[in-house]
Amino acid sequence: MEEQVKLFLKYLNYQKGYSENTIINYENDIKEFLEFLNKENIDNLKEVNYSIVRFYLMDLYNKKFSRNSVSRKLSSLRSFFKYLHNEEIVKINPFSLISSPKKEKKLPKFLYNEDIEKIFNVPNTKTVLGKRDSLILELLYDTGVRVGELVNIKINDINFDDKSIKILGKGNKERIVLYGTYAEIALKEYLNNGRNELLKGKNNEYLILNANGNNITTRGIRLIIDKIIKQACLNTHISPHTLRHTFATHLLENGSDLLTVKELLGHSSLSSTQIYTHVTNERLRNIYLKSHPRARK
């Protein structure tokens, strides 16, 4: 079974163009299901049927997984068994018979301006790594790119004249993102006075490098952000994706239309972007309730 999992993960990487982080999620979901099968003394994927899938679903709910987590796990396994069916390894895809639970509506977390200022003041831009970390923050917030997209930016993807970057997003879809004056300053400072020191004579086409002069990983970015958040003394969990949420929220709050935000984020459908209208509407409601004399007793 492990060999079939490896082949499927290669398929996701080379055929579907999925990001490293997405493939890791698929792998974890599938391995978790294989562990369940092992406990049930099932050692052949051909034996998996509707009843076993239902039993697994009950097991997930008994372990108190959220509906969103269950939905993601089912989606991963549905794709895995679809691949196995197409490769004629199994006769049916039992997960196609199971409907995913209705997703919980969870508003994305975003940062207020004062918190943005706090974290942006953390990197010591007198050091090489500080210049790099400052650029990471600027690009995540200025462009709204995903972490997996950020680590794959190459120098020749950047158009310095019109301050734009070509991004290879999910499903190998290309889009153009824009960056502003602050990111431009951070980018020039990093390229002119930092990146070559990190390279140490090596050749590397990628923009963001680690301390050894190699292109940085998504995990490396997350560790940097975690460290910055601790130094900024923010008492909340913030991930690199929070900066993407903040990018979208702040654009809408300042008058951008939804279609523009959709294109900049690289969403395939408008429904994915509409969640941010709930965020901005909720914030407006809170401001109204606090500020208007007739809104409260």
| Angle formed at CA 121 by CA 178 and CA 169, multiple of 5 degrees | 30
Q: Would you please indicate which residues are annotated as catalytic (active-site) residues?
A: 146, 170, 241, 244, 267, 276
Determine contact, residues 4/89, Cβ cutoff 8 Å. yes
> Residue 94 gets which letter from DSSP?
G
Determine contact, residues 169/149, Cβ cutoff 8 Å. yes
Give which of 208, 154, 211 is closest to 186, Cα–Cα: 208
How far is C-alpha 220 from the chain's CA centre?
14
Work out the burial of residue 66: count CB atoms within 10 Å of its CB; fewer than 13 is exposed, 13-18 middle, 19 or more buried. middle
- Cross-strand pairs, 158: 165
> Residue 228 gets which letter from DSSP?
H
